[in-house]
Amino acid sequence: DSVDLGSHVITKLAEKDMQMWTMGDVATFVSQTVAERYKNTFVNHMIDGKALLMVNADQLCSAMKMPLGMALI
């Protein structure tokens, strides 16, 4: 039997209050659910759980240079 570590990590993050997520938690979430290539963008912008809850699609597109489709995920 193989174990999907990505799903396990996401499950563990889901058990934690998102406001308490560290920048590392957000980076892991982004790499596992959006795309690995955007992980460093979130790290460089110092996005932790509290900041992630406040970010909107316009900010993702303009400040973080994500294409609109990815910003809406």
Which tens digit of pLDDT belongs to each residue from 19-46? 999 999 999 988 888 778 888 889 999 9
pTM score above 0.75: no
56 alpha carbon, distance to own chain's centre = 13
Q: Cα–Cα distances in Å, from 1 out to 4, 9, 10?
A: 10, 18, 19
**Helix spans in the chain (H):** 5-14, 23-33, 39-44, 49-54, 57-62, 68-71
How many other C-beta atoms lie within 10 A of the C-beta of residue 31?
Answer: 17
| Spatial distance between the Cα atoms of 34 and 28, rounded to a whole number of angstroms | 10
